[in-house]
Homo-oligomer: A and B are copies of this chain.
């Protein structure tokens, strides 16, 4: 797929015909969507070695913690983070309450349908839009908004629900780890409350096992009812050096396995790999321009350069999406 970022709002939605055959799951193969090869073998070896009684690499069940980045590791992240689609949709929905947005950047660009211009201000612009659209309501109200959006919003290029653009091979890894006593966590730069409403249904990961970026909330009484109000104030950025900090804060244990796809995940992989005993670190390398997107060192999103170098130097697993994965997304009824 090409990167349609600049055309997102003006071009018709492409409805790509999906011809994914049902995957035959074999009892003996926990990872049926993975082609045989070094990447698949490294996962199977790690799980067997850390869970087999008497193994020198055995890890007690209580310590079996596996952490997964979300954007680009469990679901796609092109042509922009899916949460940015959510932010843009929220801006359009709230526009009537904010007449000033017609002339105020970056909001004006969003309303004109020019995503590229809207994002030209970089992180600062994105943060400003996130604050304007993610705060001012209670935590429960926000949860409802996210739920409604994920049930209906579709990706402009695939025509799929965003939650249908998760990676089938990674769903199998999550299941496989859990079947072997691992607790699976998300540790993402994305918003913690943007993920929690749907991660349990989509990934089997409950809200208490989601770590992410957050804004502050404030407990208060509204008409005699206690509510948590969402404030337009940053609380924590769960990216890069923030990931091990978030892991420590939420989990309080060093993970045994970590899965990422970008340089933003590097510190999480370093932190995991530096633990005593057997550890596992894996990078998903986006190499499939046909079925997904191909990008790494020079990408405007999900950049992977230093991470790739460290993975090669340290013998971490690097997944070649094009070669290692039989399918990308799960089969869905269309």
Chain A interface residues toward B at CB < 8 A? 62, 65, 139, 183, 192-193, 196, 200, 206-208, 210, 214, 216-220, 225-226, 228, 235, 241-245, 248-253, 267, 270-271, 274
Contact = CB atoms under 8 A, between A and B. Distances in A.
Given A206-B62, A219-B267, A219-B271, A226 B249 contact: no
B270 A226 contact: yes
A62 B210 CA distance: 15
B228 A245 contact: yes
Contacts of A183: 208
Contacts of A214: 249
A53 to B, nearest CB: 21
Contacts of A271: 219, 226, 228
Given A207-B251, A226-B274, A250-B250, A241 B218 contact: yes
23 contacts: A62-B200, A62-B206, A65-B208, A139-B248, A192-B249, A207-B252, A207-B253, A208-B250, A208-B251, A208-B252, A210-B252, A214-B249, A216-B245, A219-B243, A219-B245, A219-B271, A226-B244, A226-B267, A226-B270, A226-B274, A228-B244, A228-B245, A235-B249
Given A214-B249, A217-B248, A253-B207, A225 B267 contact: no
A238 B228 CA distance: 14
Nearest to A235: B249
Contact of A228 (B206, B218, B220, B248): B248
Nearest to A200: B62
Contacts of A218: 241, 245
Contacts of A253: 207-208
Given A226-B267, A244-B228, A267-B226, A252 B196 contact: yes
A206 B252 CA distance: 9
A183 B267 CA distance: 30
Contacts of A243: 219
A235 B225 CA distance: 27
Contact of A244 (B219, B249, B251, B274): B219
A214 B248 CA distance: 11
Contacts of A225: 274
Nearest to A220: B241
Contacts of A139: 248
Contacts of A226: 244, 267, 270-271, 274
A175 B216 CA distance: 34
Contacts of A219: 241-245, 267, 271
Given A196-B252, A207-B251, A219-B242, 5 more contacts: A193-B252, A208-B252, A210-B252, A219-B243, A250-B250
